[in-house]
Amino acid sequence: MQAVIQGPVYVVGDNIDTDQIIPAEYLNLVPTIPEEYEKLGAYALCGLPQDLYPVRYVQEGKLDSVYPIVIAGKNFGCGSSREHAPIALGSAGCKVVVAESFARIFFRNSVATGELYPCESENRICDKVKTGEVAVVDLDACTLTVSNSGKVFRLKPLGDVRPVVDAGGLFNYARLAGMISGEARPKANQPGNRTA
Amino acid sequence: MTLTEKILARAAGKAHVQAGDNVWVDADILMTHDVCGPGTIGVFKREFGQNAKVWNKDRVVIIPDHYIFTCDPKSNRNVDILREFVREQGITYFYDVIDDPAGSWRFDPAAGPVKRQHGSHYAGVCHVALPQKGHTRPGEVLFGTDSHTCMAGAFNEFATGIGNTDAGFVLGTGKLLLKVPATMHFRLEGKLQPGVMAKDIILHLIGEIGFDGATYRALQFSGSGIPHLSMDDRMTIANMAIEAGAKNGIFPFDGRTAEYVDSRTRLNGTKTTYDPVEPDPDQNFVFEHVIELDKLEPTVACHPDPARRRLAKELGHVKLDRAYIGSCTGGKTSDFVEFARILRGKRVAIDTFGVPATPEIVHELKSTRWGGKPVWEILVDAGVHLTENPGCAACLGGPLDTFGRVNSPLKCISTTNRNFPGRMGHKESQVFLASPATVAASAVAGRIVDPREYS
Ligand code: SF4
């Protein structure tokens, strides 16, 4: 699994709850149905108030986002236990969310689904970077580097959850580790494994 | 060990566990609903095979309740996916919207959102339906694909919300790997003053520790105030543990717990035996806090987060467009009764919507009479739009045609549990969370007021 994720960042503030990540009206979409998985991606972060976030995470009419890295403040993913939240982000092409802190269930769902890496930063980053700036997240070195300025931010190590996301989620991990039987399944959000 | 540690140790088959341990625990009950059930079933089938069987057909409880009374075809389809799965697996406890096990669910818009459209098995909002239908028992482990599953902590059990992938795993194996949370201890001392409700306790508490003040932790309640709190009150409080980020909230076991659980399990023919957990003399808490109940005042959580705490009396300048009573935390019989007590003989000044959590509550409101008049009628006469179709309704916005949904940038005061941007519908709307008493009084005044001025 890739240890380096590079691309433009999308920056949000504190307390981004699951209703802002995927508004409740789209919860009629079932993530295990491939077309609906794709659609969830189109709505990722569309619940953010427009006045605070004039640039959308996913452009109108598109299924994917141009931002593989999301940077957030405290308590990212608070609220509901809907797995639609990390799935919408993953489906849109988000690979990593770097936040000052995560809400418990969102963190766990990100790992269980293997959709994205939930990385905690050592310090607050969301006030120091702007949407659209290009950055590099290095999971081995535990750093986020802003390409233009060269500024480096430290990330907390992912620890035990890294191999689970690397494997593509809880079930694949359990299979690779011999805890349950069967063959590991390719990751849903890998290129070549998409339906649209 | 704390109450949470004791239950998790037991469920893991260990003599002792402590905060931070990762343990495999056996689930007693797995609950799912129409929003997360189809995805959970999808994960289960994808991972365990099309012909796989659930680990125990008596321990999976399926309760459609979220997007039911809507024309949205996908939402209607999702109820049908649940029914199909129940039939294929022979699942015992399914509270279907319709009575025909071979039928399919279609909401009839011509009949409107107010008149009863559900069948006789329908149970309403899952977290209130679970105890009413005899599925909550002291000492047990309950997992649910919904964050407010923590509400069942009122019954002295470990109850927590999980995602579809984890739930798919439980469906296949009956087990889940959990990290034992550290426990924060809250002593509730004394007694609430008239006009102050259980909702004010939890809004006060969340304001005290912050919306992430209990992340990864358990909340444990004790103190001289507990015996005065009804099971409804305890449910209101445990429900919102998640609004402080907690994994679970848990109450001690007492005579009231036993009375409720025993009567409900007997009535519904569910498992009647259970083994409560009692507090140990040596418990390790990461945080201790005393809340003096008699000092609490009507409290409001202001838009846009449940920890933005103010007193109702400080918010008289906030003009409102709408009031809402409903949801798991705020749509129980006792909530509506307090609401009606304040509205009796008055008229609401703003649009006011009422959605009882379960059909049983609808029945109780229609059959309880004050001075010859059913409570239901008292509410209708006061101008409240009430529906006979219980469910989550506008608590989480839902499809556009959902009853009570906030479809424009309104200011709404509500007995529900979340007020993040867009929670009840429109992205620019604002939600203020308060007790049924505060919501009722504010509905009459058209602005936020302290209910003690109106009773
Ligand atoms: S009533 Fe509201 S909070 Fe309760 S389960 Fe339904 S949507 Fe969730």
Q: What is the CATH number of domain B300-454?
A: 3.30.499.10
Distance B1 CA to ligand 1 centre (A): 31
pLDDT tens profile B168-217: 999 999 999 999 999 999 999 999 999 999 999 999 999 999 999 999 99
How many CA atoms within 13 Å lie on the side-chain side of B449?
15
Nearest to A28 among B78, B166, B245 (CB): B78
pLDDT tens profile A150-162: 999 999 999 989 9
Instruction: Tell whether ligand 1 has an atom less than 6 A from the beta carbon of residue B242.
Output: no
Compute the distance between CA of residue B205 and CA of residue B188 in angstroms, rounded to an integer.
10
- pLDDT band of residue A1 (cuts 50, 70, 90) is low
In A58-151 the beta strands, taken as DSSP E runs, fall at 69-72, 96-99, 117-120, 134-138, 143-146
| Cβ atoms A87, A39 nearer than 8 A | no
Q: What is the arithmetic mean of pLDDT over B435-454?
A: 97
Name the residue with tokens 């109820």: B79
First to last CA, chain A: 23
- pLDDT band of residue A191 (cuts 50, 70, 90) is very low
Please name the residues in contact with A125: beta carbons below 8 A apart, sequence gap of 6 or more.
A71, A98, A100, A144, A153
What pLDDT is attached to residue A178? 80
Q: What is the CATH number of the domain that holds A157?
A: 3.20.19.10
Question: Does A196 reside within a domain?
Answer: no
Per-residue burial over B285-320, b if 16 or more Cβ lie within 10 Å, else e, is: beeeeebebeebebbbbbbbbbbbbbebbebeebeb
All structural domains of chain B with their residue ranges: 1-296, 300-454
Question: A104 contacts in B (CB within 8 Å)?
Answer: 215-216, 245, 247
C-alpha closest to that of B245 among A82, A101, A160: A101
Q: Which percentage of chain B shows pLDDT scores above 90?
A: 100
Crossing angle of helices B333-343 and B436-445, in 10° steps, is 30
Compute the distance between CA of residue B405 and CA of residue B393 in angstroms, rounded to an integer.
7
Per-residue burial over B382-391, b if 16 or more Cβ lie within 10 Å, else e, is: bbbbbbbbbb
What pLDDT is attached to residue A184? 76
> How many domains are there within chain A?
1
- pLDDT band of residue A194 (cuts 50, 70, 90) is very low
What pLDDT is attached to residue A187? 63
Give CA separation, B299 vs A60, B17, B378, in Å.
40, 37, 26
What mean pLDDT is reported for chain B?
Answer: 97
User: What 3-state DSSP class applies to B14?
Assistant: coil
Question: A83 contacts in B (CB within 8 Å)?
Answer: 36, 39, 163-165
Question: Does A37 reside within a domain?
Answer: yes
Token pair of B453, please? 């001025």
Structural domain containing residue A21: 4-189
Inform me whether the C-beta atom of residue B38 falls under 8 Å from chain A C-beta atoms: yes
What pLDDT is attached to residue A195? 34
User: What 3-state DSSP class applies to A21?
Assistant: helix
**Nearest 5°: phi and psi at B199?**
-60, -35
Question: Does A194 reside within a domain?
Answer: no
By DSSP bridging, strand B285-292 and strand B248-250 are unpaired
* Binding-face residues of B in 206-235 toward A, CB within 8 A: 211-212, 215-216
Instruction: Tell whether ligand 1 has an atom less than 6 A from the beta carbon of residue B235.
Output: no
Token pair of A53, please? 């976030």
What pLDDT is attached to residue A89? 98
Backbone Cα Rg of chain B: 21
What pLDDT is attached to residue B273? 98
Instruction: Tell whether ligand 1 has an atom less than 6 A from the beta carbon of residue B328.
Output: yes
Name the residue with tokens 């489906």: A91
Q: Which amino acid is at B363?
A: H
> C-alpha A89: how far from its chain's center?
5
CB contacts < 8 A, A to B, total 139
Inform me whether the C-beta atom of residue B149 falls under 8 Å from chain A C-beta atoms: yes
Distance B33 CA to ligand 1 centre (A): 11
Q: Do A28 and B399 touch (CB under 8 A)?
A: yes
Crossing angle of helices B164-173 and B37-48, in 10° steps, is 60
Chain B residue nearest residue A172, CA to CA: B47
Inform me whether the C-beta atom of residue B247 falls under 8 Å from chain A C-beta atoms: yes
Instruction: Tell whether ligand 1 has an atom less than 6 A from the beta carbon of residue B239.
Output: no
- pLDDT band of residue A188 (cuts 50, 70, 90) is low
Q: What is the arithmetic mean of pLDDT over A105-126?
A: 97
The ipTM value here is 0.92
- Which architecture, in CATH terms, is B1-296? 2-Layer Sandwich (3.30)
Q: How far B421 CA sits from the closest chain A CA (Å)?
A: 7
- DSSP codes, A129-193: --TT-EEEEETTTTEEEETTT--EEEB---TTHHHHHHHTSHHHHHHHTTSS-SPPPPPTTSTTS
Q: What is the arithmetic mean of pLDDT over B346-371?
A: 98
In B248-314 the beta strands, taken as DSSP E runs, fall at 248-250, 285-292, 299-301, 309-311
What pLDDT is attached to residue A190? 43
Compute the distance between CA of residue B193 and CA of residue B7 in angstroms, rounded to an integer.
34
Instruction: Tell whether ligand 1 has an atom less than 6 A from the beta carbon of residue B417.
Output: yes
